[in-house]
A = this chain, B = another copy of it.
Amino acid sequence: MDYFGHLSRSNSNITHRIHNKWTCFKLYDEALLQQDKDNYVKQSFSDRFSPQCNSSAIETPVILSEEITKARASIKHAMKNTATSKPVPNIGSFYTISEKTSRNVELLRNDLKALSGTIQTLNFSLRQFENRLTKIESNKFTKIDGFETTSVKVEMRSRNAGTGGKRIQPEWKPPNNAQSSQLKLYNSLTRQKENFIPEFGNNVKWYSCGPTVYDASHMGHARSYISFDILRRVLSNYFGYNVQYCMNITDIDDKIIKRARQNYLLEQYKEKSLDLKQALEDVTSAMENFDKKLKETNDPDKLAMMERMNVQGMSCLTYLKSVEDITKDVKEKILSDCKDPLSNWLDAKYGCSVADNSIFSALPQHWEKDYFEDMDALNVAPPDILTRVSEYVPEIIEFVEKIIENGYGYPSNGSVYFSVSQFDSSPNHFYAKLVPEAVGDVKALEEGEGDLSVSVDQLSEKRSPNDFALWKASKPGEPSWDSPWGKGRPGWHIECSVMACSILGSSMDIHTGGVDLKFPHHDNEIAQAEAHYNNPHWVRYFLHSGHLTIAGCKMSKSLKNFITIKDALKKNTSRQLRFAFLLHSWKDTLDYSENTMHDAVQFEKLMNEFFLNVKHVLRNLPDHGPKSFWKWKKEELNLSEIFVQHQQNVHDALCDNVDTRTALDHLRQLVTASNTYLASSHKNKTPPNSQLLKNIAKYITWMFKVFGAIPEDTDIGFPLISGGNQSQNTEAILMPYLNVLSKFREDVRAIAREHKVTKVLELCDALRDDELPPLGVRLEDKEGTQTVVKLVDPAVLMKEKEEKQKLAEKKRKEKEAAKEAAARKKEEKQAQRRIPAAKLFISQTDKYSAFDGQGFPTHAVDGKELSKGQSKKLRKLYDAQDKLHNEYLKECAAMNGS
């Protein structure tokens, strides 16, 4: 044990008395170099020192940290100012450093030079100091250089105390991981990639703008929802964030109202009886009205489409002038060829009369269902929370009231508007954070306000053209809700602010939406929420998915390249579509084209072949237990290194704004390297390493699960069969249960027969004939023996059932026909009986020309007298008929008499 020195601290300065080492300075240097400053300091002081020294001598880490910063500055200072120094004692003596005392730094430097071994491994000295610290003797208040200090006398052991004594662990430091990446996301709020940092812990609050449900979802929708699905899965399943994903459904909207009203009016018109004059008048008016609209249109795409409709409508009008009457076909032609002009005209004329609210809710309900079907087909995960505007009207009204209260909204003529200038001029606010350059873009603003909300009247209600509607007074023909400002409905932008805040609170981490929504929708959303909460960071990361083009062109109805999701899924599987998306950057324009899909299909094929090859290897080599492991040669070490490197590359790519394109490229390269390895092991006739290949294939499979290209297991809870491999086939799993079912039914049936409980017997039949066949179960009842249970492809069973029904139908029809025939025969026989014998031959003038008084034929048609043989034959018939008729007469008499 050798005496080492003092460690002392005063009230507001740290003073150091060190002997022989520069240890204490190092402590501060190290502490400040740590990224996690407070933690390190806490460790350095509290954890390491406090167990040994009086804990009351140690203050809170934060204060220590401040003191250290000061101390460090003064040390640096002292090191530089060699001029204004006073002598410092020699090595072996004490010296004190504080902010007020200057030092002879040359001497200090000499000390350090003398201790160059320690200086070289500067990081070592702190730990060394601690390691060798065996005793802290006492804390005393003394005056050193006029400062009141707490002196701590420490005792140290020499390093080479030998291996026999009690030794202490050497210094350790974490590696300097220069390669480590952090997730960055391209934030529309800064137009650059920013480190992604959630506001609270590991939780990510996320709001995504959902669809306005008034028509079928198209590839433009797929662009957004598949992209966000990928982002969401990568953040949850790859980066491990606990994501809360909230999406809305816009089910109150100008487009929905208009579409619902027009559909309804057109349907009514379809039902109406129509004469030619009326039809001509109507179509003429509709086309005139349409022509007016056409002339007002500037959008070239819209114009092209309207012109096409105009030509079609006009030719229909010409045709109409040529017909003479409104037949069913003519009416159908009008309704199809003039659909849009007619709808518009009907809406203009009768729109305001539509009052039934159910008309406005049925349409969005229909298309919401359709939307979810499309998303399911695309393997887009449903949101955690879904909000519909129609469910949040009270919250919207409350929110608007708060905005008015805060001075950023004003009612006008039953509507409420947001005052952009009031908001923007506030020092805490900034309007249009996403697209500041778009402020004043009238076209964008009007589109944002909606078709039904840009009349001159409405526009003049606003104090400024930049203002936008928070609440719209409902006109006739529009759905409405009661509010402090009269009957009305929510503006478009307000819904997202309100619903997002209702679920996620006053701020969120991520907001997503299509790039088209940036301005004014998202900028207005931000303004509204910030006006309500006075929170300048309502959304931290605003992510916008890129545009979608169709073979290089903008998708539009006018270009006839409007492709619904269902259309696209007819051409490619949802997995191929997803690979196409993954092979492109989510934030840039994606071109949906033959080439794009070809690449995706090729990628899928390459991957699938690899999977099949690995599965083949695994089937033919042990992939489990000791036999599956054998020593790695340089080929395996090489492939493993490539594997590790590509895993890192994929990681880096995903950190770089979720760059799936680069990630997939690395997966492709990994597959190529694996294929090369497989080929060479094939060539060298050495078995490939199944474990390594399995791990690579499992990694790639896992990445595809992360990307949503392979469905995740959606299980809940514990598996039923514990421990073992549960890949039993369906039949093995099912049969025990089906046997129980069949036996139960049989027993019930037997008792029901005995007791004649018809209803139960009917249930037994229904189970066999209706319930089980769609599930692929065929019960075959055998008289006197056990019912046979068979598992068959449900499709086959359903076909069987259909055929059985057809056969039954056929039999039924045959039976009916036979029955009818029999009835007819009977009827004929009856008719025959009604004929008196005297009238049996009298009408047969094609055979006979003369009859006796009783109507018996005497001469044939050729005038010849009938032969005796002929007469005899006819007499037999005559007599039989006479008997038959007499019986008939008797029966009639009997019936009448009774």
Contact = CB atoms under 8 A, between A and B. Distances in A.
Interface in A635-672: 637, 640, 644, 647-648, 651-652
A439 B239 contact: no
Interface residues of A, number: 165
B644 A203 contact: yes
A166 B440 CA distance: 10
Contacts of A244: 640, 644
Interface in A163-197: 163-164, 166-170, 172-175, 177, 179-182, 187, 189-192, 194-195, 197
A671 to B, nearest CB: 12
Interface in A191-220: 191-192, 194-195, 197-203
A377 B540 CA distance: 48
Contacts of A637: 503
Contact of A164 (B174, B440, B791): B440
Given A433-B170, A614-B716, A573 B723 contact: yes
Interface string A697-728: 11101001000001101111111111101111
Contact of A391 (B77, B386, B631, B791): B631
Interface stretch (A298-306, A548-556, A748-756, A865-873): A748-756
B372 A626 contact: yes
A747 B759 CA distance: 10
A757 B752 contact: yes
A626 B223 CA distance: 21
Interface stretch (A10-18, A257-265, A419-427, A478-486): A419-427
Q: Copy number of this protein in the oligomer? A: 2
Interface string A662-694: 000000000000000000000000000001101
Interface stretch (A147-155, A735-743, A852-860): A735-743
Contacts of A721: 730
Interface in A392-440: 392, 420-421, 424-425, 427, 430-434, 436-437, 439-440
A117 interface: yes
A711 B701 contact: no
B615 A466 contact: no
B711 A726 contact: yes
Interface stretch (A22-30, A328-336, A769-777): A769-777
Contacts of A879: none
Given A730-B726, A751-B763, A242 B36 contact: no
A174 B539 CA distance: 10
A892 interface: no
A180 B167 contact: no
Contacts of A740: 741, 767, 771-772, 775
A608 interface: yes
Nearest to A542: B172
A192 B43 contact: yes
Given A420-B163, A626-B369, A734-B737, A713 B716 contact: no
B775 A737 contact: yes
A729 interface: yes
A366 to B, nearest CB: 10
A339 interface: no
Contacts of A167: 432, 436-437, 439
B192 A47 contact: yes
A762 to B, nearest CB: 9
17 contacts: A73-B76, A172-B189, A173-B537, A201-B651, A240-B240, A244-B640, A503-B637, A575-B723, A608-B717, A611-B718, A614-B716, A697-B716, A701-B716, A718-B793, A737-B737, A751-B759, A751-B760
Closest 8 CB pairs of A and B: A611-B717, A167-B436, A386-B629, A179-B201, A242-B647, A170-B430, A391-B631, A175-B199
